[in-house]
Amino acid sequence: MAARSIGSLTLSFGLVAIPVKLYTATQPGNAISFNLLHKKCGSRLKQQYVCLKEGTVVERDDMVKGYEFAKDQYVSFTPGEIKALEEAGTHEVEISEFVPVESIDPVYFDKTYYLAPDKGAAKPYGLLTQALKEAGRCAVGRWATRGKAHIIALRPIGDVLTMQQLHFAADIRPPGEIDVPKPDVKAGELKLARQLIDQQAADDFDASAYTDELRGRIQAAIQRKVEGEEISVSETVPEGSGKVIDLMEALRASLKRTEAARSSASKLGPRKGPKRVEQPVRAARKAGRR
């Protein structure tokens, strides 16, 4: 099924304007969600809001939004006041600079869209895409939609331009806030760890090599329940209860395992996608349980 455009935009930089169509890049509709039901009769539940002071149910017409500026102290805003504060939507993405793709840390990446040329824009669209490829850069600019302003990055994937919403710097928690102790890493341990990384290294990331096994299990369980089958749940012993007793031993065991897996795979012929191998910590935990 062909993708359906969700809107139109104009990319502008300098005196160049490129009309494009906007498409979602992800499929959130594929996510499996559950509804809350009444355990007794199986009917779906309705969410209600209760006033903590009066203990009564409050209808939506009697609700206003408020901001807690101090403990249990609020200032309220009407829908009109909030609307006036929102960013005015725009159908134009104004490019402000071109930066190296690798200079944007993935922690800033948010929602992704695909862009396609609108009528008469195939040539400038292709020109921008090819120029970005050869320069190894992405275009950074601003876009406003649904009352919010966004930083965006335009980067090519193949022949398609993607528009990536970016978080603002204030939205990102500094990694320095996380307390991480500095261990004494020995040269031998580092060498073995590097060897393990080299053994499992791949030239490219292939997302199709990974499948959502949880989704498959849920779908199968849903189908069995629809058909009236009872599902028995067996308790599983969580991994990670063991103690890491020897990091060097775990690294060596991991190297041997990956080497054996690679040798076995080579005998079976070429296989696409990464091989699943046991990680060092998991191997160490198993060693600790023995």
Considering the domain architecture, whether residues 137 and 15 belong to the same structural domain is answered as: yes
Beta bridge partners of 49: 58
What per-residue confidence (pLDDT) applies to 105? 94
Query: Which pLDDT score is estimated for 280?
Result: 42
Tell me, yes or no, whether 250 lies in a domain.
yes
**Contact in structure between 250 and 284 (CB atoms under 8 Å):** yes
Closest CA to 189 of 243, 283, 252, 240: 252
Q: Same domain for 265 and 149?
A: no
Per-residue pLDDT, 290: 42
- Tell me how far CA of residue 114 lies from CA of 3, 152, 160, 192, 275, in angstroms: 10, 12, 7, 42, 31
In angstroms, the CA 162 to CA 89 distance is: 20
pTM: 0.67
For residues 143 and 266, state if they share a domain: no
**pLDDT of amino acid 211:** 79
How far apart, in whole angstroms, are the C-alpha atoms of residue 46 and residue 74? Answer: 27
CB 242 within 8 A of CB 285: yes
Q: Residues 283, 143: one domain?
A: no
CA dihedral 244, 249, 250, 252 (to 10 degrees): 170
Amino acid at 266: S
Per-residue model confidence (pLDDT) at position 30: 65
Q: Say whether both 98 and 161 belong to one domain.
A: yes
135 part of a folded domain: yes
What is the structure's pLDDT at 288?
44
Mean pLDDT by 10 residues, the chain (290 residues): 82 85 79 86 90 90 90 88 78 90 93 93 93 94 85 94 94 90 88 87 83 81 83 59 64 80 68 47 43
DSSP state of 173: P
Let me know whether 165 and 107 are in one domain.
yes
Total domain count for the chain?
A: 2
For residue 257, give its domain range: 187-197+241-289
**For 101-256, where are the E strands, in sequence order?**
109-117, 137-145, 148-157, 160-166
pLDDT given for residue 166 in this prediction: 94
